[in-house]
A and B are shown apart, each in its own frame.
Chain A
Amino acid sequence: MNLEKVVFGFFVLLAATLNFGFFIGDIANPALHNIYELFAAVVVSLIATVLKFGDRTQIGAVHLATSLVADLQLIAAALAWTYAAHISTEGLTPSAMASVVSLSGGALFANVVSVVLLVVETVSYHRR
């Protein structure tokens, strides 16, 4: 067992699950999307990105790319939330919440790709 692989797999999967947890539910209903979950998703996604630094393989490069996409989407979602909750006069309207959640949905897709890559890597490793 390789501890590095365990940590890596843990963070990649955790980023995906947290992202999924925030995303699921009625897209426009703020009550169904916990902001702490979004925060956790951003932090874990950032850590996963750093973990992917310095991998020279082709699959490592794609890993890094998907992670960067997820970061971008999640940070955009966090910014959208900040705008709605703090700057906009209307507050957290259903439409604002919908844009936050849909942005995190994009990140979820990138995270799913990351998980698929992880699985592919693992399976091909076993075949060798």
Chain B
Amino acid sequence: MGNPLLSFWWRLFGQDEQRTGRLRRRIPMASAVQASATIFLILRRMRVPLIILITIFAVSVLGLTLVPGRTAEGLAYRMSFFDAFYFMSYTASTIGFGELPYTFTDAQRLWVTATIYLTVIGWAYAIGSLLALVQDRAFRQALALQHFTRKVSRLREPFLLIVGYGRTGELLGRSFDALGRRFVVIDSESERIDGLDLDPYHADVPGLVADARDPGHLGVAGLGNPHCEAVLALTNDDEANLAVTMTAALLRPDLPVIARTVSTLIAERMHAFGTPTVVNPFDRFGDHLRIALRAPATYQLITWLESGPGAELPPRARPPAEGRWVVCGYGRLGREIVEDLQAEGLDVTIIDPVADRPAAAEEEATLVSGHGFEPAVLEGAGVAEAVGFVAGTDNDTSNLSLIAAARRVNPALFVAARQNRPSSGPLFAVMDVDSLLVPTEVVAHEVFAQLSTPLLWRFLKEVPHRGDPWAAELVDRMTELCSRHLESLWKIRLTHDEAPALTTWLAGGDARLGDLLRDPDVREVRLDVVVLMILRDDECLMTPDDDTVLATRDELLLAGRPAARRALDTTLVVDGALQYVVTGRHVPASWIWRRLSREQG
């Protein structure tokens, strides 16, 4: 520590550099090397055409300087290199200015005839090879990979790495883009990556067509980038999602990973690597169904908040909490639902053409074998006396006809259905299903809730513990203050950086939430915001009332219109505005007026 300036410098930048340096070294970037190898190969392939072109030119020019010519006066003359090169250049490129500087002799014409054919062949060969190389698939891929690598390494703001750009990825991409977040996409299908350019995103989204199971591809896509915030494994292939989870957990243990799977076995295997958040849409749908059975308003609130900004308030479904349910399709979804329904103490009848006996824990469930849309089978399952019906097969056509058949037998049924393909959406909308499972959307909402603001996730975790009346009241307050469409959710931290005007007011110990939420223009008007939660020292204060005393470093989760957000931001930053909303006095903003007003007072 001889030089204090140096040690200061090291403290500022040294550690950070060391950390990123270590990261870079550890993450494999094999595919980038492959890309440059391809470009070198292309250069090697251009050797022969270029050498042939040079040789043909050299021979032609040399010959032209050696062949005897004649000037206009009939004197013996030989072309210089300059003249010969000039002549060959315009002849070979088929411009053809004529015989310069003097009309050629027959000997010169003989040589020029030969060189014309030679140079045309040479040019055609060289240009043809060059065009062929530019068209070459490997070359284009290599270029795309290099372009992508450059774009990702230039990202200087936090970004998400989305693996798998299917329906889920697209939904998430739109939501995050609306929030102003950046992301990078890998998918194995080129049409999806091409589709990225057509999607109306605000920010530039780098996309790569690659197999995400290769750690090198993940490395190129920014797994080693210190600005990478989280990895989302959202492909349709459970195996690929597992591979991505493993890679991320082994190479970047500090990164949060969110993986999608529909298999509990794969979920177990994912949990063996670090602490990934595994989203199983079927499991989640079962959980939601349980919440809906117990507390319809809570379920309504959760689904609304998870849907992201702009979402309309979903109708409050009232699934029957007593009676018998009929579940069609005993696959992975069926198993989850039957388990959850039985845990709620409901009777369940299963209809499935091939299902074995239910597992030991589900012995009490009755099994009817056959297709649910056959009237005899429906009758055998007792749909007429049932209260709930689940169409949960993996075929949309079957599900739709199941719903129709069951409704004909018993129009009062509560119907839950699974929509597999996005294209079937309009049909299910017309069927007016009481509870619809779209696996891709469930995953998208879940991931969005977890990553958009950490506070929202915390809030959603707390909601089920607060009871149905509380949730119903909150929904009413939010629809009253904002609208039936979800306004933006945001968080503020009452720190010196984010709320500089509040520092002394908070330290006073009598900082009421109600004062903060007054309009800085007319303090009698309350801003149209709902404070959903205050997080203080890892403790949640749910929907605090206006008398709540705020403290420094509190984190607030708010919902409200953008205008209210701007007004609140003014109060947080401008001293005068805060003075006005708290005390009702207008405090002059400039120094000189403040001095004057103090002397008056």
Residues of A within 8 A of B (CB): 35-36, 39, 43, 46-47, 50-51, 53-56, 78, 81-82, 85-86
Contacts and interface: CB of A to CB of B under 8 A. Distances in A.
Given A56-B36, A86-B82, 11 more contacts: A36-B65, A47-B51, A47-B54, A47-B55, A50-B54, A51-B47, A53-B44, A53-B47, A56-B37, A56-B40, A82-B82
A36 B63 CA distance: 11
A115 to B, nearest CB: 20
B7 interface: no
A57 to B, nearest CB: 10
Given A50-B47, A51-B47, A86-B80, A43 B54 contact: yes
B43 A53 contact: yes
Interface of B: 36-37, 40-47, 50-51, 54-55, 57-58, 61-62, 65, 80-82
A79 B36 CA distance: 35
B40 A54 contact: yes
Contacts of A43: 54-55, 57-58
A18 B485 CA distance: 82
B41 A54 contact: yes
Contacts of B46: 50, 53-54
A54 B47 contact: yes
B60 to A, nearest CB: 11
5 contacts: A36-B65, A50-B54, A54-B46, A82-B82, A86-B80
A47 B49 CA distance: 11
A81 B36 CA distance: 40
Given A39-B61, A56-B37, A56-B40, A51 B51 contact: yes
Nearest to A82: B82
Contacts of B81: 35, 39, 78, 81-82
Contacts of A50: 46-47, 50-51, 54
Contacts of A78: 81
A43 B84 CA distance: 14
B345 to A, nearest CB: 70
B58 A85 contact: no
A47 B40 CA distance: 18
A53 B50 CA distance: 10
Nearest to A86: B82
The 3 closest A-B pairs by CB, nearest first: A54-B44, A54-B43, A43-B58
B276 to A, nearest CB: 38
B205 to A, nearest CB: 32
B132 to A, nearest CB: 16
A75 to B, nearest CB: 11
A50 B80 CA distance: 26
A55 B47 CA distance: 11
A9 to B, nearest CB: 15
Instruction: Give the one of B36, B41, B42, B43 with max A CB within 10 A.
Output: B43
B38 to A, nearest CB: 11
Nearest to A83: B82
Contacts of B43: 53-54
Instruction: Give the one of A35, A39, A43, A50 with max B CB within 10 A.
Output: A50
A121 B537 CA distance: 67
B80 A39 contact: no
Contacts of A54: 40-47
A72 to B, nearest CB: 16
Contact of B80 (A51, A56, A85): A85
